[in-house]
Homo-oligomer: A and B are copies of this chain.
Amino acid sequence: MNKPTGPLDPTAIPTGERPGSRKVYQAGERWPDIRVPFREVAVHPSAGEPALTLYDPSGPYTDPAVTIDIDKGLPRTREPWVVSRGDVEIVETPREVKPEDNGFASGAGLAPQFTAPRRVYRARAGAGVTQLDYARRGIVTPEMEYVAIRENLRRKASDPFIKDGESFGAEIPDFVTPEFVRDEVARGRAIIPANINHTELEPMAIGRNFLVKVNANIGNSAVLSTVADEVDKLVWSIRWGADTVMDLSTGRNIHNIRDWIVRNSPVPIGTVPIYQALEKVNGIAEDLTWEVFRDTLIEQAEQGVDYFTIHAGVRLPFIPLTAKRVTGIVSRGGSIMAKWCLAHHRENFLYERFEEICEIMRAYDVSFSLGDGLRPGSIADANDEAQFAELRTLGELTKVAWKHGVQVMIEGPGHVPMHKIKANMDEQLKHCHEAPFYTLGPLTTDVAPGYDHITSAIGAAMIGWFGTAMLCYVTPKEHLGLPDRDDVKQGVIAYKIAAHAADLAKGHPTARAWDDALSRARFEFRWEDQFNLGLDPETAREFHDETLPKEAMKTAHFCSMCGPKFCSMKISQDIRDAARQQNEVASGMDEMAKKFRDTGGEILVPVTAAE
């Protein structure tokens, strides 16, 4: 897993299975040709328990049977599903790449084109090809069965689980069926971001009643990174568990870099089209036009982008509401549109043209991520009128998008102190008709630049518990610089922690098994199992070996914290053994325990009772 050495050296992309893990697949029943990937973590035979199945968004990169060639892109396994529905047509003359698509980059400054040939699809005239369209028509698509199998983590409907959690009114099923997925999509409560031109995709769902997902942002900026760096960041982030990736590239080569990313991505790719549109008008917001934006939507839709962040809620009347804020407008897209609105003193053209935008996105099944351009950028601005006025607007736009059969999720903050987080979820549920919520953090304090993956993991875990469907990661570099490879890893892991903590607290049927398997390994000193079952086996092993390097120590029944003579886990195992083996003691203890309980846990049990 080295950093790419050459610009397009495929061998540099991180591949191979995770430690102690095996890539496994489960076939569909309705659609036997679908193969849903999982990561199976084996445990030591002494454990006497089966291997643990984990959700696996890492794609073919962790399958040793697959040869990766980023020049060719990933296998287009979804193409037959898309074509066989008979409602799409091949775009005979796809939009041609224009110089402005790459910021007029040329010569050595121009990133290489992705050259492997592919067809570009579009819905036949009048055809509804979105997952929402199909769901409404009662159709279970391969994407829906794929998602159902994926969410169950190989649990069977009959497998028992510990019901324990508080889901705040979510309707998490004990077992996910394809019909359940269809119904959640049909009512807009979940989305399956799946552009018909992103046939390399491994479908996934974003919804309050599914596992909480994590998004990682990548993208070059000011020509700081190469194509290989971005593909590497993509593969790197999904290797650690990112469920979707947003390409936030600005500056030059946006088009070509995006081609490489989409063609090599098994996860949904999201973008903020206004970024590229702005580049096309040389970064001058006032010069933005509907025509430039529309052309950019088609450009990206044909490339296969799965969801677009559209800041249509930044309405002219709301802008003055930000004037007295401590940090004004901090969303890039939001500030671009605000500047355009003020310059022309006109309503946001994304708002005025919203139905036209819907028609374009519908033809490719691009999902909306309705942007929160007025999200708070500081604790002081949290939950203010500008933020909630926009949120209510996003609720209105959600209904418009649904009318056109386009899938929708809603973006959320931002910077919010803990006591104001729940109100964000409640307002979103109230005004956005249960469309999935997708939040950036929120950061629970402003005072820790350099550690905002932590300030925000706190808020992310809480809002995920309250019902947010996807958490957009924040890296340690937030507010300070561009995330490098390690920042991406740190951000993804902090957010996998937040997402799983939320699944646990919601009582998701598959959540507890993971914690319990790891804790059993910990208690039984199965060090290798503890490492491999963790989010980051390599780091866990490295930390352990710093103080107890010897291989023998991996089986030692103690650790460096207490040393051999003095180990709480060992002592309490002795206690358990004693309780098990010495019958008279055991029964004596059970009797004592019973007596204790019978007395209602009364504390002053005479000591004699214990003798």
Say if the beta carbon of A559 comes within 8 Å of chain B.
yes
What residues on B are CB-neighbors of A419 within 8 Å?
164-166, 465, 505-507
Contact between A523 and B327 (Cβ–Cβ < 8 Å)?
yes
Q: How many copies does the complex hold?
A: 2
In angstroms, how far is the closest chain B Cβ from the Cβ of A464? 9
Question: CA of A378 to CA of B450 in the docked complex: distance in angstroms?
Answer: 30
- The residue on B at minimum CB distance from A396 is B603
Contact A547 B482 (CB under 8 A): yes
Residue numbers in B under 8 Å from A322 (CB-CB): 572, 575-576
Question: Could you say which of B320, B500, B539, B578 contacts A342, with CB atoms under 8 Å apart?
Answer: B578
User: Does A47 have its Cβ within 8 Å of any Cβ on chain B?
Assistant: no
- Chain B: minimal CB distance from A73 (Å): 29
In the complex the two chains form, what is the Cα distance from A346 to B606 in whole Å?
A: 11
Interface 1/0s, chain A 447-458, versus B by CB < 8 A?
111110111011
A385 CA to B448 CA, complexed, in Å: 38
Asked if residues B519 and A326 are in contact (CB atoms below 8 Å), the reply is yes
Report if A504 contacts B (CB, 8 A): yes
- Chain B: which residue is nearest A373 at the CB level? B568
* Residues 149 to 175 of chain A near chain B (Cβ within 8 Å): 164-166
Choose, from A94-102, A131-139, A301-309, A593-601, the stretch at the interface: A593-601
Q: Quick one: which of B315, B320, B445 contacts A504, CB cutoff 8 A?
A: B445
CA gap between A150 and B81 in the complex, in Å = 67
Contact between B519 and A379 (Cβ–Cβ < 8 Å)?
A: yes
Residue of B nearest to A514 (CB): B447
Chain B residues, Cβ within 8 Å of A418: 461-462, 465, 501-502, 504-505
**Known contacts A504-B418, A505-B418, A379 near B512 by CB under 8 Å:** yes
Whether the pair B316, A543 counts as a contact (CB closer than 8 A) is no
Residues of B within 8 A of A86 (CB): none
Q: When chains A and B are docked, how far (Å) is the Cα of A566 from the Cα of B338?
A: 13
For the complex, count residues of A whose C-beta is within 8 A of B. Answer: 146
- Taking the closest CB of chain B, its distance from the CB of A20, in whole angstroms, is 13
Knowing A323-B579, A560-B222, say if A451 contacts B481 (CB, 8 Å).
no
For A418, give the chain B residue with the smallest CB separation.
B505
Q: Which of B166, B328, B533, B548 contacts A572 (CB 8 A)?
A: B328
| Contact (Cβ within 8 A) B543 A610 | no
Q: Quick one: CB contact mask for A308-346 with B, threshold 8 Å, 1 for yes?
A: 000000011111111100111111101110110010011
Q: Contacting chain B: which of A28-36, A253-261, A584-592?
A: A584-592
- Would B500 and A445 count as touching, CB distance under 8 A? yes
In the complex, whether A557 has a CB less than 8 A from a CB of chain B is no
Which segment of A176-184, A206-214, A472-480 sits at the interface? Answer: A472-480
Known: A448-B535, A465-B418, A585-B342. A352 touches B504 (CB 8 A): no
Please give, as numbers and ranges, the residues of chain B lying within 8 Å of A164 by CB-CB distance: 417, 419
Instruction: With A224-B547, A335-B568, A481-B560 as known contacts, state yes or no: A392 contacts B501, CB within 8 Å.
Output: no
- A563 contacts which chain B residues (CB < 8 A)? 221-222, 250-251
The verdict on A515 contacting B446 (CB below 8 Å), with A317-B610, A338-B575 known, is yes
Query: CA–CA, A507 to B476, complex, Å?
Result: 26
B519→A446 contact, CB < 8 A: yes
Q: Is A377 engaged at the interface, CB distance under 8 Å to the other chain?
A: yes
Most interface-central of A352, A418, A514, A547 (chain B CB within 10 A): A418
Q: Which residues of B contact A445 (CB under 8 A)?
A: 497, 500-501, 504, 515
**Residue among A251, A331, A507, A535 with the most chain B CB within 10 A?**
A535
- Which chain B residues lie closer than 8 Å to A592 at the CB level? 316-317, 320
List of B residues within 8 angstroms of A469 by Cβ: none
Chain B contacts for A166, CB-based, 8 A: 419
Q: Is the CB of B574 within 8 A of A417?
A: no
List A residues 473-522 near B (Cβ within 8 Å): 476-477, 479-482, 484, 493-494, 496-498, 500-502, 504-507, 512, 514-516, 518-520, 522
Nearest B residue (CB) for A503 = B445
> Is A105 positioned at the interface, with any CB of B under 8 Å from its CB?
no
**9 examples of A-B residue contacts, CB within 8 angstroms:** A326-B516, A327-B519, A328-B575, A378-B523, A388-B601, A447-B518, A453-B454, A462-B462, A479-B559
Give the 5 A-B residue pairs with the shortest CB-CB distance, closest first: A328-B572, A378-B519, A283-B565, A418-B505, A320-B589
> A: which residues have CB within 8 A of B?
164-166, 221-222, 224, 250-251, 278, 282-283, 285, 315-323, 326-332, 334-336, 338-339, 342, 345-347, 352, 377-380, 385, 388-389, 392-393, 396, 415, 417-419, 444-451, 453-455, 457-458, 461-462, 465, 476-477, 479-482, 484, 493-494, 496-498, 500-502, 504-507, 512, 514-516, 518-520, 522-523, 530-531, 533-536, 539-540, 543-544, 546-548, 559-563, 565-569, 571-576, 578-580, 585-586, 588-590, 592-593, 595-597, 601, 603-605, 607, 609-611
Q: Given A327-B572, A328-B576, A449-B530, list of 19 further CB < 8 A pairs?
A: A315-B603, A317-B596, A319-B575, A319-B579, A322-B575, A326-B516, A332-B567, A336-B568, A342-B578, A345-B611, A352-B607, A378-B516, A379-B516, A385-B601, A396-B604, A418-B505, A447-B515, A449-B522, A449-B536
